[in-house]
Amino acid sequence: MPRIRLILEDDHSQQIEQTFALTGDLDSLDGIDEAVEQFRLNALPDLEKALLVQAQERTLQEKKTVPGA
């Protein structure tokens, strides 16, 4: 069963890694399209969440270092 490994690495080389199995009929174009669509629906919300958390942490750090913020 094919898998997709997704690695998100920040500026400090910290990594978040997730592996997603492609399931279904991978012998037809429709099956491959469906498997990729399921990957997208499963992976992208987690990726977006991780990126938003990192952005929020950076913003909080920046506010701590700015006088009067």
pLDDT at res. 69: 55
- φ, ψ of residue 2 to 5 degrees: the values are -65, 150
Amino acid occupying residue 23:
T
- Give the pLDDT band of residue 68 (cuts 50, 70, 90): low
8 Å CB contact between 6 and 45: no
pLDDT in tens, 11-57: 888 888 999 999 999 999 999 999 999 999 999 998 899 889 989 98
- What is the reported pLDDT for 19? 93
- CB of 50 closer than 8 Å to CB of 16: yes
